[in-house]
Amino acid sequence: MEKRKTSTYVIQWVNIIALVLSLVVLGLGVFLATQHGNCEKVMATPVFITGGFLMCISLIGYLGAVRENPLLIWTYILLLCLLLGGAAGFTLFTYVATHRGSAGHHKFVSVNDYKLQDYSGWLQRLLNDRDNWENIKTCFVKPKYCEALPFKYKTLHEFKQANLKPIEAGCCTPPSECGYASKNASFYDLDSPPASSNKDCRTYKNNINIKCYDCDSCKGVIAHYLRKEWRVVALVNIIMFTMLIVLYSMAYCTRSIHLKKGT
């Protein structure tokens, strides 16, 4: 009897917390959906789905625990099982998708050395797809970053000594292996032939609307950002996965107690 009360009590409070969290997630979805940028609006859909599913499962779990309803508890257990499978699958996919590629052993001597081929085949295909890259580029790569360089580094010496941000070095400047002489922070002498056969050397232009936005080095920087962010998401997912296992065990224990009670 005491064990049943404890399990029911814990499930009730866990689902109350989950319900509040789902409201916060849905609020975030509303905020993103009302923004003017397309990037925020695209992110709103998965946020709404996550918040809605979390709200649904927490309500079922809470009502099942309060009313001690076997059908609701069974439904709650099945939904938790699906959530566990989804969390495990997503975590595995995240680690595979963000795994370094065959060139992953390469050590960067500067941020200019970010190369797309240093990342997984899945990330390469994602960023090499023209439509995907145009959407991603709109969100992450903005001309204002390159426009700010001459104001940020007023002399050529300052620019050459600066520790540029990855987005500045990979998307606003040509790869160092091209050998182009820099005139200032935003202009390179492109009259002489490049010292490398890297296609990025031909892709780069001094035009603020072109720069190296379509270079593999720029895509490599975005792959680096995505890898870091997804690894954080995967870590959070592992924590959530552990909590779900505990919750699943409690729900299963409650179900077992109800079955014994009914016999």
pLDDT digits (tens, 9 = 90+) for 185-217: 989 999 989 999 999 999 999 999 999 999 999
Considering only residues 169 and 85, tell me which one the structure prediction assigns the higher pLDDT.
Answer: 169
Tens-digit pLDDT profile for residues 18-46 = 888 888 888 888 887 887 666 766 677 87
% of the chain surpassing 90 pLDDT: 24
Q: Are residues 36 and 130 in the same domain?
A: no
What dihedral angle (degrees, nearest 10) is formed by the CA atoms of 150, 154, 155, 161? -80
Per DSSP, helices labelled H in 177-215 are 200-203
Give the pLDDT confidence score for residue 213 in this predicted structure.
95
- Tell me: pLDDT of 262 over 60: no
**Rounded to a whole number, what is the distance in angstroms from the first to the last CA of the chain?**
15
Q: Are residues 27 and 73 in the same domain?
A: yes
Q: Does 52 reside within a domain?
A: yes
> Average pLDDT, stretch 225-230?
84
- Tell me: pLDDT of 89 over 80: yes
Q: Which domain holds residue 213?
A: 111-221
Q: Does 62 reside within a domain?
A: yes
Give the pLDDT confidence score for residue 202 in this predicted structure.
94
- Contact assessment for residue 224 and residue 166, using Cβ atoms and an 8 Å cutoff: yes
Q: Are residues 94 and 125 in the same domain?
A: no
Domain count, the chain: 2
Q: Are residues 94 and 173 in the same domain?
A: no
Neighbours of 72 (CB within 10 A): 18
